[in-house]
Structure 1
Amino acid sequence: MDRMTSRIILPLLAACLLAACSPAGPVGNAAVPQPAKSVDVERYLGRWFELGRYENGFERGCEAVTAEYSLRPDGLVKVLNTCNAGGVDGRERVAVGRAKIVPGSGNAKLRVSFFGPFLGDYWILDHAPDYAWSIVGEPSGRYLWILTRSPTPSEPVRKKLESRARSLGYDVTMLRWTHH
Structure 2
Amino acid sequence: MRTKLFQEIYEWIKSLVIAGILAFLIHTFLFAVVVVSGSSMEPTLHNNERLIMNKIVYQIHPPKRGDIVVFHATENEDYIKRVIGLPGETIEYKNDQLYVNGKVVDEPYLAKEQEEWHSKGLLLTKDFGPITVPADTVFVLGDNRNNSTDSRELGPIPISRVVGKASIIIWPFSRISILEH
Query: Do they fold alike, i.e. is TM over 0.5?
Result: no
Larger radius of gyration: 2
Q: Per residue, is there more helix in 1 or in 2?
A: 2
Question: TM-score, normalization: structure 1?
Answer: 0.28
